[in-house]
């Protein structure tokens, strides 16, 4: 069987029925968000990192049917937004952070950092869901390892970014 790269399984999915109820401004924001997430996750350096991590953790990539970057956020019943999900069909679904949250973040950090936040969040979500394949319901272990791997990757890539630690903190605070 031919080995299919994880990067070739990543795509952006817009569910048509979900477009309803969003304003033009929101639609524009989420489309841009999905584009950033897609570029981030298919980036060759990040893909190499993912390959290395999966090898190291002994995660079989055949378990993953595809990775879907969903353009619109999903709200869980408890009101919290969901970052990602790995379902029984072997699909990893990645959801965006809400526009309102990103707007607030712009007031706290500069725009460039919010951009960076979106990238790191997309990477963290994919790493997190991949780790769930191996550690299934062990949420603590998955969280701890996600943080560890993200720190390794961002240290390597963005050592000059002063906000990296701050963003990791925002991302991983409970
Ligand atoms: Zn989890």
Span from the CA of 23 to the centroid of ligand 1 (angstroms): 30
Write out pLDDT tens, residues 107-162. 888 788 888 899 999 999 999 999 999 998 899 999 999 999 998 888 765 555 55
Residue 69 C-alpha to ligand 1 middle, in angstroms?
A: 17
% of the chain with per-residue pLDDT over 70: 84
Q: Return phi, psi of residue 162, to 5°.
A: -65, -25
Do 70 and 83 contact (CB within 8 A), yes or no? no
Is 1 within the bounds of a domain?
no
DSSP code of residue 90: S
145 CA to centre of ligand 1 in angstroms? 11
How many independent structural domains does the chain possess? 1
146 lies in a domain? yes
- Rounded Cα distance between 174 and 97, Å, is 15
Q: Structural domain of residue 66, as residue ranges?
A: 6-172
Question: Are the beta carbons of 148 and 166 closer than 8 angstroms?
Answer: no
**Which residues, other chains included, contact 77 with Cβ-Cβ below 8 Å and sequence gap of 6+?**
none
90: CA distance to ligand 1 center in Å?
15
pTM of the predicted model as reported, rounded to 2 decimal places: 0.87
155 alpha carbon – ligand 1 mean position (Å): 23
Please tell me the distance between residue 122's alpha carbon and the centre of ligand 1 in angstroms: 14
């Amino acid at each position: 069987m031919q080995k299919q790269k994880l990067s070739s399984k990543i795509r952006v999915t817009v569910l048509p029925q979900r477009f309803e109820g969003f304003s033009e401004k929101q639609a524009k924001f989420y489309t841009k968000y999905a584009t950033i997430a897609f570029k981030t996750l298919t980036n060759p350096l990040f893909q190499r990192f993912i390959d290395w991590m999966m090898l190291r953790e002994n995660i079989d990539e055949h378990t993953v049917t595809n990775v879907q970057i969903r353009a619109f956020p999903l709200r869980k019943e408890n009101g919290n937004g969901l970052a990602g999900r790995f379902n029984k069909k072997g699909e990893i679904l990645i959801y965006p952070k809400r526009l309102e949250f990103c707007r607030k973040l712009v007031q706290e950090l500069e725009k460039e950092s919010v951009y960076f936040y979106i990238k790191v969040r997309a990477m963290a979500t994919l790493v997190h869901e991949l780790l769930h394949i191996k550690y299934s319901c062990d949420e603590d272990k998955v969280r701890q390892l996600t943080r560890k791997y993200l720190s390794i990757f961002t240290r390597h890539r963005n050592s000059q970014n002063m906000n990296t630690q701050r963003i990791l903190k925002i991302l991983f605070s409970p």
